[in-house]
Amino acid sequence: MSKKRRLPVLISAFAFLMVVAGCSLPRGAAIQSEVLNEQESQAPSFQVVPVTRDVTPALSNWPATGWHGHYHWFQRDRGPDSNAIQVGDVLKIVVWESQENSLLSARGSNMVAMPEQEVAGSGKIFLPYVGDVRVRGQSADAARKRIQESFEEISPSAQVQLSVLPGRNNSIDLVSGVAAPGRYPLDSRNTKILSAIAKGGGVSNALRNPLLRLQRGPTTYETRFADLLADASRNVRLRGGDQISVVEDDRSFNVLGAAGDQTVMYFEKESMTAMEALSAMGGLQAARADPKGVLILREYKAKDLKPGWAGPDLQQVVFTIDLTSADGLFAARQFQIHPQDTVLATESPINAARTIIGLFGTVIGVTSTANNL
State the average pLDDT over residues 47-52.
Answer: 96
Task: Reply yes or no on whether the pLDDT at 3 is more than 60.
Answer: no
Q: In which band, very low, low, confident or very high, does the pLDDT at 17 lie, cut at 50, 70 and 90? A: very low
Distance CA 143, CA 221 (A): 32
In total, the chain counts a number of residues equal to 373
- In the chain, CATH 3.30.1950.10 sits at 90-165
Q: In which band, very low, low, confident or very high, does the pLDDT at 114 lie, cut at 50, 70 and 90? A: confident
Q: Tell me, what's the pLDDT at 240?
A: 83
Instruction: Give the model confidence (pLDDT) of 331-371 as tens digits.
Output: 999 999 999 999 999 998 876 555 545 544 554 454 454 44
Domain 32-66+252-347 is of which CATH architecture? Roll (3.10)
Q: Tell me, what's the pLDDT at 105?
A: 63
Question: With left for phi above 0 and alpha for psi between -120 and 50, is residue 282 left, alpha or beta?
Answer: left
Task: Reply yes or no on whether the pLDDT at 166 is more than 60.
Answer: yes
Does residue 294 contact residue 346 with C-beta atoms inside 8 Å?
A: yes
Instruction: Give the model confidence (pLDDT) of 59-77 as tens digits.
Output: 999 999 999 999 999 887 6
- Sign of the Cα torsion 242, 243, 247, 249 reads negative
- In the chain, CATH 3.10.560.10 sits at 32-66+252-347, 171-247
Domain 90-165 is of which CATH architecture? 2-Layer Sandwich (3.30)
Domain 171-247 is of which CATH architecture? Roll (3.10)
Distance CA 205, CA 196 (A): 17
Does residue 47 contact residue 367 with C-beta atoms inside 8 Å?
A: no
